Amino acid sequence: MTTTLAQDLKDAAALLARANDVTLLGHVRPDADALGSALALGRALQLRGGVKVRVSVGEPEEMPETLRSLDAGGLYVPASELPESEQLLVALDTPTPGRLGKLASRVDAVRAAGGDVLVIDHHASNVFFGTKHVVDDSAEATAVLVFALLEELGTEIDEPIARCLYAGLVTDTSGFRRARPSTHLMAAKLLEAGVDPDKVVREIVDDHPFAWLPMLSDVLAGARLEPDEARGFGLAYAVVTLDAARTVRGEEVEAVIDVVRSTREAGVAVVLKEAEPTGPSRRWTVSLRSAGGVDVSAAAGELGGGGHRQAAGCTAEGTPGEVLDRLRAALSRAPLL
């Protein structure tokens, strides 16, 4: 741990220790790291007593079904039911205010009112939009930073907190394939706190309704491989339309990228997911994954998104062909890893 990060953790702990009204936000369409980190820190504050705590995201209104078991303290509040303001806003796993969706305006509102915005994140693309920051792009997950912050606070980590952190850790490290020895040691401490790893992974990663299978069959039937794209590393892509996704949850749509990325002949995998019609055009959320040859965060950044060098995303409008053309061009300019 660097001296700067150690001081940032102390400053963040001091800020949280005196807080009595806190809203914790994850990014839109939250994954287990964003929501797990927020719920873990929220529960720690809740257990301290005397603190109003709420956790939310800008989209969707309801918590994703696969992540509901993480909210042992009933902290989740739909965005439409949040109070007008709070003394302290904590943004987790969120590199830019835009990733908060319709809740992005709360950042400026809190700052204008003299409140604090604490940003806890592990994205290299973080723009440091808070008043205090715990940002480390070498951390494999935001959960790693929350764990360090809870240690700084002297929080006793119970099973619900540990479960939230483990969920973020196991998903953002691809099942610990990209975890450092220190992160494995952190996972061991979470298991000692009572986490059932099989249950966590089954609920969040492996559990899909039968409707996922025909959806996946339909989508993969249209998947394509372009061996010469992505700077010669190969590109595999698939498109999930609203019609194809009509019978499944958002979680099933998000899981498609994990299937496409397993293509041996492609160093880069891309999935376009139709979000909503926008007049004559169409709006897509895009997931990009790299097997290690190409920096996909740079390509996503060209389209207004961001993320990690091996996992990134963006939003784009147009036909699938138009969006893919922009992605191909961006990938052709992306740095090599």
Residues 162 and 224 in one domain: no
State residue 3's pLDDT score: 84
Q: What is the pLDDT of residues 219-235, one digit of tens each?
A: 999 999 999 999 999 99
Q: Which of 234, 232, 337 is nearest to 294 (CA)?
A: 337
Looking at 180, 205, 230, the residue that finishes a domain is 205
pTM of the entire structure? 0.91
Region 50-58: what's the mean pLDDT? 96
Q: Which of 253, 69, 96 is nearest to 166 (CA)?
A: 69
State residue 277's pLDDT score: 65
Residues 27 and 82 in one domain: yes
Region 187-215: what's the mean pLDDT? 96
Residues 133 and 23 in one domain: yes
Looking at 144, 175, 205, the residue that finishes a domain is 205
Residues 169 and 235 in one domain: no
State residue 138's pLDDT score: 93
Residues 224 and 200 in one domain: no
Task: Give the confidence band of 2 by pLDDT, cuts at 50, 70, 90.
Answer: confident
The rounded percent of the chain whose pLDDT value lies above 90 is 90
Q: Indicate which CATH number applies to the domain containing 321.
A: 3.10.310.30
Domain that holds residue 132: 3-205
Token pair 């369409």 is at which residue?
A: 29
Q: Indicate which CATH number applies to the domain containing 81.
A: 3.90.1640.10
State residue 331's pLDDT score: 98
Residues 110 and 259 in one domain: no
Looking at 185, 205, 225, the residue that finishes a domain is 205
Residue 60 has pLDDT above 80, yes or no: yes
Residues 40 and 179 in one domain: yes
Sign of the alpha-carbon torsion through 238, 240, 244, 246 = positive
Residues 221 and 189 in one domain: no
State residue 124's pLDDT score: 87
Q: What is the pLDDT of residues 270-291, one digit of tens each?
A: 999 998 766 667 899 999 999 9
State residue 276's pLDDT score: 72
Q: What is the pLDDT of residues 5-26, one digit of tens each?
A: 999 999 999 999 999 999 999 9
Q: What is the pLDDT of residues 287-325, one digit of tens each?
A: 999 999 999 999 999 998 888 899 999 999 999 999 999
- Taking CA atoms, 103 is separated from 26, 59, 98, in Å, by 10, 9, 9
Lowest mean pLDDT among 63-67, 133-137, 140-144, 276-280: 276-280
Q: How many Cβ atoms from other residues are within 10 Å of residue 6's Cβ?
A: 12
The rounded percent of the chain whose pLDDT value lies above 70 is 99
Residues 32 and 126 in one domain: yes
Q: Which of 79, 69, 67 is nearest to 23 (CA)?
A: 79
State residue 195's pLDDT score: 98
Q: Which of 117, 67, 121, 63 is nearest to 92 (CA)?
A: 121
State residue 305's pLDDT score: 87
Residues 311 and 171 in one domain: no
Q: Output the 3-class SS for the chain.
A: CCHHHHHHHHHHHHHHHCCCEEEEECCCCCCHHHHHHHHHHHHHHHHHCCCEEEEECCCCCCCCHHHHHHCCCCCECCHHHCCCCCCEEEEECCCCHHHHHHHCHHHHHHHHCCCEEEEEECCCCCCCCCCEEEECCCCCCHHHHHHHHHHHHCCCCCHHHHHHHHHHHHHHCCCCCCCCHHHHHHHHHHHHCCCCHHHHHHHHHHCCCCCHHHHHHHHHHCCEEECCCCCCCCEEEEEECCCCCCCCCHHHHHCHHHHHCCCCCCCEEEEEEEEEEECCEEEEEEEEEECCCECHHHHHHHCCCEECCCEEEEEEECCHHHHHHHHHHHHHHCCEC
Residues 184 and 237 in one domain: no
State residue 281's pLDDT score: 75
State residue 306's pLDDT score: 84
Number of domains in the chain: 2
Residues 267 and 215 in one domain: yes
